[in-house]
Amino acid sequence: MKKKDKIWQSIQTFGRSLLLPVALMAPIGMVMGICNAFTQSYMIEQFPWLSNTVLQTTLNSLKNITSVIFNNIPLLFAMGVAYGLSKKEKGIAVFSSVVAYLTLNIVMNVYLTVTGTLAPAETMSQLGQGTVLGVQTLKIEALGGIIAGIVAAKCTDRFYKLELPLAFAFFSGKKSVPIISFVLMIPIGLILPFFWGIITNILISGSVILMNKYVGPGIYITLNRLLIPFGLHHVLSSIVRFTEAGGVYMIEGQQYVGILNAMNEILFNLGPTHPAWNEYMPTLSSYIAPAQMLTTLFRIPAVGLAMYKTAYLKNKKIAKGVIITVCLTAFLGNITEPLEFTLLLVSPMLFFTYSILAGITTIPLAFLDVKMGYIRGTIFDFGIFGMLYENTNWINLVILGVINFVIFYYAFIFMIKKFNLATPGREDFDLDEGASLLLKEKRYREIAEIVIDGLGGAINILTVENCVSRLRIDIDKPELINKDRVRESGCLGIFLPSEKHIHVVFGPHVEAVKNAVDDALRQVGQN
């Protein structure tokens, strides 16, 4: 493998390693958001039935339970990165990542103590410090978890078969990995605080453009869309949500780093009547829920309708099923990748235009004073955090959304016809109804067999992972891939981001397909 391909594959692997904690945060965050919303005093005043003691006890209990996830995001990132990056003994890697993360925080505490920079409890948040798992330390948020996860993964792959002299043989092999991870994190924990100030300044400098009130949301959305094929949009989102690049906000004397941390405080604790609502929420909203809602509720349905409108008459029936599926997946589940990968498969130019246009049409959001949460862009978020909250100006989002719908619909009608693009229903061949039935009838075993065969057999498949919409497969010999055979599985698209790495898009079915592929490969290995 070429050095360039190795680097690119490493970036790919790192990007998808973030998927596990992000996937956990999405449904848990939805539950926490609903509970937080319905336990606020102003919501109870608007809907007196919410004051029911049993209901409030239940909601507050769920709020406390779900909050443990968001209070420990760095630890989740540590385990997720370790699991995703390690090639061998993933369980040991995850265990070692926890050891590494705990060590990192206590070492930074020691550094702050020895240098006399450990802040008093009442002012530590203003100085970028906080309590992590009972230890006052530097609040480097997700970065700390990512570093710990990388160290643990690399140690696992390097030392899981380590042989020590007989006197120390008990600590050989897998037992050595957490010990080595512990040792390595000591110098890292001592060096990191020194460089953190420099890193912070760089991030803040970059955020001048990214967080610009007027064009920042547009730039962010464009980059977010363009990075989706490479799985790196999660990296960008995490940086904006949890680090200084997303801004530092002083609210009620407390410092909140990143967009999501600030929004959580305002949305769930202070409410629409607090001055911070009008001061910060329009900016914060432009990067999270409303910006995403423009895509899930308006742009993707518009693109889907344009595809159906331009489909050949003979293929409309099959195309309709595919298009409705990808649109509903976005509308109800905030999963946009199936359609976006379809665009990329049809024409990179079409996907690039989609990404740029999404950024441009997001810019007006900054002028419309929309104040809505949460991080998901579903119709449920719109109803709860838009229509049920006061002072959200949700109607302005709808107006902008309708304009987005019209722009995207006619833009895609024009481009598809002008360049005769093979969007669903416009292929040179009839869509295989039988293949689409495989997914519809949930015949995942058959799908797995087709995918494996199309990729050159089990012997040609090195690793199989998945994200929210696609299989991510490392292969040995790319020349053995038969794309036509893979398409017989009913997949929504095929994409090769690097020479020996392939994405096969299955939308919401991907987890079931992944499990079927794993079972099939395991069976081959046993025979």
- Mind telling me the catalytic residues? 467
Q: Which two tokens stand for residue 11?
A: 């970036």
DSSP 48: G
- Residue 191 CB contacts under 8 Å (≥ 6 apart), including other chains: none
Task: Say which residues have a Cβ less than 8 Å from residue 515's Cβ, sequence separation at least 6.
Answer: 444
Please give the single-letter amino acid code of residue 133: L
Region of residue 67 (phi > 0: left; psi between -120 and 50: alpha; otherwise: beta) = alpha
Sequential DSSP letters for 78-104: HHHHHHHH-SS-HHHHHHHHHHHHHHH
Please, what is the end-to-end C-alpha distance for the chain in angstroms? 30
Angle 272-234-283 from CA coordinates, rounded to 5°: 25
Supply angle C-alpha 138, 139, 145, rounded to 5: 105
DSSP code for 118: P
Q: Which two tokens stand for residue 128?
A: 């970028």
- How far apart CA 47 and CA 315 sit, in angstroms, is 49
SS (H, E, C) 414-434: HHHHHCCCCCCCCCCCCCCHH
Place of tokens 């995918």: 451
Token pair 């904690």 in the structure block, residue: 21
